């Protein structure tokens, strides 16, 4: 198969139009694209009203529109919150002349605050007149869902199977804080569209696998939001592709969006990729990689550009990770790579003596940390995240 990165985000997909706007901290995005749908949602035990509402909305398997507000999560808002989520769906349905049962509602922002429905209704009236299938529609939609994000996040690809069939997959996302997603399937939201002709059960399987290898492997601060949601809609307006081909394309898009979130972590000065190798199982490899990036001590040491501290705290994080079997210290190895250098820092469980120039690798803005567990299972997983800087505290003390 061939994957080609193209412009247009969700609007590169046949049958999709969108737009969004921001008024200070409050934004609204509206997307129209009819087709089958699959979703993945946070397992937080106090899920927000729109998250609960949308999980029920998509149960029948079809969607015509998505409405997203930013600035207010509509979380921990009781029955009024549920009524407001339903009202958002009703407003979008009436505006676009689609069934209310086929409208998904997503929200992101502060917890414990009720929606300003008058503002949402006003913004909706302004957004609908600007909706377009052109490139700017996707970018505006991605900007409308931002909270503490510093840039809009969108990606689109064209995939071509050996049969010659070609389809597009495009997505937008938001997220820079309160990110440690764990979905069965600051807040992270992602909406992905494809014009592939694909069955609902296939779409669900592909989404769950893609989420496991992308959004579930992003850690900015280790906190799980009440609103984390991913939707994928297939308009079916182009040809059919093999399931394995489609899953590879969907995973590519989800990973690209996940990496953008990690790069835009609140207060981040460095993008960090962690790969754990030779674990006993895929699940253990994922847990070990997440444990490293979840550690505030590891992340602080990366910000401080101290390779010795990064290695020591990585070892401590591994020792506390919930993985099966015993770790053999004598088999552990840690490597650090930048775009210009690579350093083996720990080998056979021992810290190596490093020169000043080797330790200077930590000044790079993008780092790849590879940890070999030496457990003999051959399983591998990769996670993405960022360092923990002073600005993270400043942002979250004030937002």
> What is the spatial distance between Cα 254 and Cα 243, in angstroms, rounded to a whole number?
16
3-state helix, strand, coil in the chain (%, to 5): 40, 30, 30
> What is the spatial distance between Cα 120 and Cα 69, in angstroms, rounded to a whole number?
8
* Nearest one of 48, 21, 9 to 135, comparing CA atoms: 9
Contact by Cβ (8 Å): 316, 332: no
> What is the spatial distance between Cα 229 and Cα 206, in angstroms, rounded to a whole number?
16
Does 150 qualify as catalytic in the annotation?
no
What are the φ and ψ backbone dihedral angles of 333, each rounded to 5 degrees?
Answer: -140, 145
> What is the spatial distance between Cα 99 and Cα 385, in angstroms, rounded to a whole number?
39
DSSP reduced 3-state for 22: strand
DSSP sequence for 185-236: ----EEEEEE-----HHHHHHHHHHHHHTTGGGEESSSPPPS--EEEEEE--
CB atoms within 10 A of CB 46: 10
Write out the two tokens for 91. Answer: 């407003």
Considering only CA atoms, give the Rg of the chain: 21
Question: Catalytic: which of 51, 187, 194, 235?
Answer: 187
CB atoms within 10 A of CB 118: 8
* Nearest one of 329, 323, 362 to 346, comparing CA atoms: 329
* Nearest one of 305, 306, 294 to 265, comparing CA atoms: 294
What's the DSSP call for residue 91?
H
Note every long-range contact of 198-201, with CB atoms under 8 Å and residues 24 or more positions apart, other chains counting: 198/36, 198/234, 198/236, 198/240, 198/241, 198/243, 198/246, 199/36, 200/36, 200/38, 200/61
48: which residues sit within 8 A by CB, 6+ positions away? 73, 74, 75, 76, 77, 81, 107, 111, 226, 227
Residues belonging to the active site: 187
């Amino acid at each position: 198969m061939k994957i080609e990165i193209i412009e247009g985000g969700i609007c590169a997909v046949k049958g999709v139009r969108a737009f969004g706007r921001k008024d200070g901290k409050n934004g609204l995005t509206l997307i129209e694209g009819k087709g089958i749908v699959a979703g993945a949602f946070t397992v937080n035990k106090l899920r927000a009203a729109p998250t609960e509402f949308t999980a029920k909305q998509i149960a029948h398997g079809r969607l015509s529109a998505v409405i997203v507000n930013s600035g207010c999560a509509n979380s921990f808002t009781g029955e009024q919150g549920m009524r407001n989520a339903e009202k958002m769906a009703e407003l979008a349905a009436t505006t676009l002349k689609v069934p209310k049962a086929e409208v998904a509602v997503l929200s992101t922002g502060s917890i414990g605050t009720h929606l300003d429905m008058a503002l949402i209704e006003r913004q909706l009236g302004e957004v609908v007149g600007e909706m377009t299938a052109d490139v700017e529609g996707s970018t505006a939609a991605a900007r409308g869902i931002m909270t503490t994000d510093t840039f809009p996040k969108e990606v689109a690809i064209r995939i071509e199977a050996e049969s010659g069939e070609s389809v597009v997959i495009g997505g937008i996302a938001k997220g820079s804080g309160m990110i440690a997603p764990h979905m069965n399937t600051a807040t992270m939201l992602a909406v992905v569209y494809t014009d592939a002709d694909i069955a609902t059960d296939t779409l669900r399987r592909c989404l769950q696998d893609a989420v496991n290898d992308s959004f579930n492997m992003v850690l900015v601060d280790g906190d799980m939001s009440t609103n984390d949601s991913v939707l994928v809609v297939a308009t079916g307006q182009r040809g059919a592709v093999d399931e394995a081909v489609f899953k590879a394309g969907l995973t590519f898009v989800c990973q690209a969006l996940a990496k953008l979130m990690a790069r835009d972590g609140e207060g981040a000065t460095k993008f960090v990729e962690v790969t754990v190798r030779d674990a006993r199982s895929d699940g253990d490899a994922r847990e070990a990689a997440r444990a490293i990036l979840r550690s505030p001590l590891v992340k602080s040491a990366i910000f401080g550009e101290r390779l010795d501290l990064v290695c020591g705290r990585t070892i401590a994080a591994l020792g506390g990770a919930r993985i099966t079997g015993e770790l053999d210290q004598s088999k552990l190895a840690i490597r650090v790579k930048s775009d210009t250098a690579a350093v083996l820092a720990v080998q056979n469980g021992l810290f190596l003596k490093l020169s000043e120039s080797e330790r200077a690798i930590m000044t790079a803005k993008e780092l790849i940390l590879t940890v070999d567990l030496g457990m003999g299972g051959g399983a591998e997983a990769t996670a993405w995240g960022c360092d923990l800087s002073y600005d993270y505290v400043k942002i979250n003390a004030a937002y």
